[in-house]
Amino acid sequence: PGTKRLPRAIVVGVKKGGTRAVLEFIRVHPEVRALGTEPHFFDRNYHRGLEWYRSLMPRTLDSQITVEKTPSYFVTKEAPRRIFNMSRDTKLIVVVRDPVTRAISDYTQTLSKKPDIPTFEGLSFRNRSLGLVDTSWNAIRIGLYALHLENWLQYFPLSQIHFVSGERLITDPAGEMAKVQDFLGLKRVITDKHFYFNKTKGFPCLKKSESSGLPRCLGKSKGRTHVQIDPEVIEQLRDFYRPYNIKFYETVGQDFRWE
């Protein structure tokens, strides 16, 4: 029963920040229906049109909201304008994480698919001795949150964008999800009793998922052991990101304490 509706909320970013966890956790809420796959409508499939996009959505009752997630939207220049043109009331969720650990996680994922890529260090710098970071490499560029956010603020007020801390999502999933539920105007249904901590993965898991009464952890690809990186490289990248992070904290009015 129900109708296919365009999403009222979209998890727009960021890649390797914890977007899958947010989607899996929020869809436990009885008033949320979420699209399980990433439709990539506002970046790759825009030419297919809004009716195609709508056709992908789950059916909802009047009391429910539709949510989708595609983390690459946050870094896609056209995405804010396109989403605004669909509905200026769309609520946006951005899951952010320390840009250095995010980049390492991103690299780790790529390495698992393409074992012969250059080293993390080689891709991160145009000239390491001069400390010149290569911002053309996607894994580095995504972490420049303050720059990408400027693009969104041309179309949406900050009040319509909610930032989830990827770090706190792991240490206090119920606390972070309480804020997400408040932002979406939902009753706080998802609480501590929904989570348990899986020590082997180092991740919180759901005690029972939306589709069955069984516990549900994120897939095998989540919680991968990161590649070991030279601490000096990490230090240089921290220095590089610091001014961007500070600007981001100031813009959103929240200190994520990435040091």
**Is 119 marked as binding a ligand?**
no
238 known ligand binder = no
Pairing of strands 9-13, 65-69: parallel
Q: How far apart are CA 2 and CA 13, in angstroms?
A: 28
Q: Letter for the amino acid at 42?
A: F
Does 91 count as an annotated binding residue?
no
Is 20 among the annotated ligand-binding positions? yes
The verdict on whether residue 19 carries a ligand-binding annotation is yes
Distance CA 16, CA 8 (A): 23
The conformation of residue 48, written as its DSSP 8-state character, comes to G
Q: Is 33 annotated as a binding residue?
A: no
Which positions are catalytic?
Answer: 16
Is residue 105 a known part of a binding site?
A: yes
Which DSSP helix (H) or strand (E) runs through 165?
strand 161-165
222 carries a ligand binding annotation? yes
Q: What does each C-alpha distance from 90 to 51, 54, 84, 85, 115 come to in angstroms?
A: 17, 14, 7, 10, 39
Helices and strands (H, E) in the chain, number of each type: 10, 11
Is there a binding annotation on residue 225? yes
Cβ atoms < 10 Å from Cβ of 43: 17
CB 196 within 8 A of CB 215: yes
Is 40 a known ligand-binding residue?
no
User: Binding site membership for 3'-phosphoadenylyl sulfate: which residues?
Assistant: 16-20, 97, 105, 222-226
User: Binding site membership: which residues?
Assistant: 16-20, 97, 105, 222-226
